[in-house]
Structure 1
């Protein structure tokens, strides 16, 4: 029982780390595409808060999907 819980926790942690890396990559790519100094400033402020980074990355992804 304990082993299952540890395994599940480890898998969840790995998933979160992968998600954070992906959102970081998406957000930086988005900023490189737009070259907007205001966006760079906003992104740098949000680096401290991973939840905000994820939310902003989702918003950017939705915006970029609409644009295509």
Structure 2
């Protein structure tokens, strides 16, 4: 059996709003984890579940003219 989990957190900030339009800045953090199948190690009597994860930081700048 396998599972995938993901947690995200982010925000937008209105950096500029004026005569020329509007600019917004965004930042998002994402943590994704994947666990694969369960492996039973008969020699040691325990089990092992492979697991990996990925951390990402995403940025964005948007400009809305006029």
The structure in which a higher percent of residues are strand is 2
Give the greater-gyration-radius structure (CA): 2
Q: TM-score, normalised by structure 2?
A: 0.24
Q: TM-score, normalised by structure 1?
A: 0.24
The structure in which a higher percent of residues are helix is 1
